[in-house]
């Protein structure tokens, strides 16, 4: 159902520049649901959740830093 909502939002032309942030937020929520249910982090020990979240944050920070370095003019 969430994927259908994302698909529908893509075709709403009146959203303009808000479309990308809305789709990113919906995708993040879908990612959290998949991780929680299908990877069983919701029911596992909290240590596993902390390890996953810390690795995810580290990967996100590194990706953002690399994107910043990519677009900085030398």
Q: How far apart are CA 29 and CA 5, in angstroms?
A: 12
pLDDT digits (tens, 9 = 90+) for 14-66: 888 888 899 999 998 998 899 888 888 888 899 999 999 999 999 999 999 99
Q: Are residues 14 and 33 in the same domain?
A: yes
Q: Are residues 5 and 19 in the same domain?
A: yes
Q: Are residues 22 and 51 in the same domain?
A: no
Q: Are residues 38 and 50 in the same domain?
A: no
Quick one: which of 8, 38, 1 has its CA closest to 23? 8
pTM for this predicted structure? 0.68
Q: Are 8 and 25 in contact (CB under 8 A)?
A: no
Whole-number Cα distances in Å, 11 to 22, 31, 47, 52, 62: 13, 22, 41, 34, 32
Residue-number span of the structural domain to which 7 is assigned: 1-43
What pLDDT sits at residue 69?
92
What pLDDT sits at residue 63?
93
Number of domains in the chain: 2
Q: Inform me whether the pLDDT recorded for 74 exceeds 80.
A: no
What pLDDT sits at residue 30?
92
Q: Are residues 49 and 14 in the same domain?
A: no
């Amino acid at each position: 159902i969430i994927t259908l909502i994302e698909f529908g939002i893509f075709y709403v032309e009146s959203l303009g520049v808000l479309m990308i942030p809305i789709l990113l937020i919906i995708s993040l929520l879908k990612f959290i649901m998949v991780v929680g249910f299908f990877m069983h982090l919701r029911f596992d020990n909290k240590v596993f959740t902390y390890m996953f979240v810390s690795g995810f944050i580290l990967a996100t920070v590194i990706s953002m830093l690399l994107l910043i370095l990519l677009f900085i003019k030398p």
